[in-house]
Amino acid sequence: MNYGYIRIAAAIPNLKVADCKYNIGRMIYLVNEALQNNVQIIAFPELSITAYTCGDLFHQNMLLKSAEEQLNELLTITQNSEIIIIVGMPIRADNQLFNCAVVLQSGKILAAIPKTYIPNHSEFYEKRWFSSAVNAISDSITLCHQRVPFGPNILLSAKELCFGIEVCEDVWVPIPPSSYHCLHGANVIFNLSASNEVIGKNEYRKELVRQQSARCMSGYIYVSAGGGESTTDVVFAGHAIIAENGSILSESKRFDEQEQLIINEIDIDRLMLDRQKATTFMGLIENEMNPNRNYRFVECNLKQVDITTLHRKIVPHPFVPQDDSERDHRCEEIFSIQVGGLAKRFQHTGSKSAVIGISGGLDSTLALLVTVKTFDRLNISRENVIGITMPGFGTTGRTYNNALNLMKSLGVTVREINIKDACIQHFKDINHHPDIHDITYENTQARERTQLLMDIANKEKGLVIGTGDLSELALGWATYNGDHMSMYGVNSGIPKTLVRYLVHWVAENLVDDNSKETLLDILDTPVSPELLPANDKGEIDQKTEDIVGPYELHDFFLYNMVRFGFRPAKILFLAEIAFKKKYTKEVIKKWLEIFYRRFFTQQFKRSCLPDGPKVGSINLSPRGDWRMPSDASYRIWMDEIKNL
């Protein structure tokens, strides 16, 4: 099973200028290495059969004849292989010479695609030798005794894969050919290039490739000339990049004396879903700026491989940047979005106070920090933030003291309301025995707290600030019309795995030492709703992750299901890779089943969510990113999980 991935290789051989036989020998060596790694498509640099720096030798018949002879040799040697090979070579047609990419498979030439934009730079005056694709007359040519489709308007397709090719300079123009290729169906682009090195060009080139893959929502494989090219006037470093929709998956080491083969997988499933969601993607197709290129499609067979592992990195915590500096920058930006959203709500309503239930847990802590900084920004006294701790049957001394200490160190108004008596009265009213610790016992406490917060907010002409996070919303881990409800949910777009980093970032950057000390202890406290009595030692006995599963797994499931629409089999496959040192397949499968069941059955809670700011690519607001019927069936997803 390939899970929607296509395995690609970008090859940088050590070449000799004008020695086609030697060059083909090195290319065959790299093709064989790619075959050993189950590569399905391999691409070589621009003019790789002859080398790029031949100069006026391109007008020598001997060189052109040798290039075709060696292409034929490559065809013969690889005729029993299904790997698709893309090479660069000069081709004569229509009394002109073209700089072409040639696509071959199993001894057959599938297409020859000429370069469109011919540079006239001081160091690359290609117009001296080559004509542009726009000057071509023929739409097919004879090459190695085969009749071959010829032209820049050719796309090659194999089931879900459709790929196009551009050559070097083509990607540097305002609207590259690849933009049109992708509008007409290509989801992977190959660029055969020979780009020399000058100061600053490397980063610009890398960003150019990354951005083009993002604009085209495609895979983009860029492979540039390296070792063996002439250094008479310029130097080539052998730069290869495999990118996917704005992300660099793999990159070669420049100035390496050794030949290189970089391998990675392009996720066709992910690309197609992103395009499907982005309804503006095809907007240019009817625009007058889009020329009618009369695209031709060449069918090919994609070598079938069983993908059991990936070259691309699968991070276990997709919501959390791996790099420390990037994580700090991300936390600062997210916190600013939360503060900005809440500030606008206070400015709009004219409210002067905020009411928050403070439990001593992570979520209410983050909500309190956001509210305090919002009031600082609006020049409203922190005393107008009313923090209310409401100890109940499961409250432990650790969380109780942390709640009080944090509110005091932050300078907010502190109130304490013990809810035990009110809950006991409620148990009497509904004829529920308090020794029965069931869902009624738990939800009574959650709803009593919410009732108090709402009524105090009315009395103080304030807003109740919600504390629930994105992960809890995904699992429905909230009491309906209890902690589920507020007047503005500042954490609704923050997954649990990110809440922890946000609180830690605030502790290190935005608060005094006393507050920091409390925040660090809160970070060290197990996640719990504290609705059931503590154990004999007075410690938390009801731990959320023991009940619903590890939040890091659920956040991983959530990201891949909602962001990319992946099916359970693919999510399990990715999770096994991401968490291979921590969870077995059986454990991951168990929690995956619980995730899908809870996600579907708890949609009714998300259908009436309070307002709250979106901060990332995943959000479950019923008014925005996630609109789903509350009674949708999850049968087909559960059937697949049971068969895994």
- Kindly list the catalytic residues: 46, 115, 168
Rounded CA separation 154/156 (Å): 7
Helix axis angle, 635-642 relative to 585-601, nearest 10°?
Answer: 170
CA 221, distance to chain mean position in Å, is 18
What tokens does 416 get?
């304490």
CA distance 357 to 506: 19
Task: Identify the CA nearest to 291 among candidates 158, 93, 133.
Answer: 133
Give the Cβ contact number of residue 4 at 10 Å. Answer: 21
Cβ atoms of residues 519 and 503 within 8 Å:
yes
Closest CA to 275 of 219, 318, 220, 218: 218
CA distance linking residue 230 with residue 140, whole number of Å: 32
Q: How many CB atoms lie within 10 A of CB 12?
A: 30
- What does the alpha-carbon distance between residue 244 and residue 220 come to, in Å, rounded to a whole number? 6
Judged on CB neighbours under 10 Å (0-12, 13-18, 19+), 492 is buried
Contact 406, 400 (CB under 8 A): no
Question: Which residues touch 561 (CB under 8 Å, ≥6 apart)?
Answer: 571, 599
Task: Check if the beta carbon of residue 474 is closer than 8 Å to that of residue 620.
Answer: yes
Contacts of 578 (CB under 8 A, 6+ apart): 314, 315, 316, 556
Tokens at 292, concatenated:
């009618």
Q: Is 150 exposed, middle or buried (0-12, 13-18, 19+ CB in 10 A)?
A: buried
- 382 and 410 in contact (C-beta within 8 Å)? yes
What are φ and ψ of residue 462, in 5° steps?
-125, -175
Strand partners, 415: 388
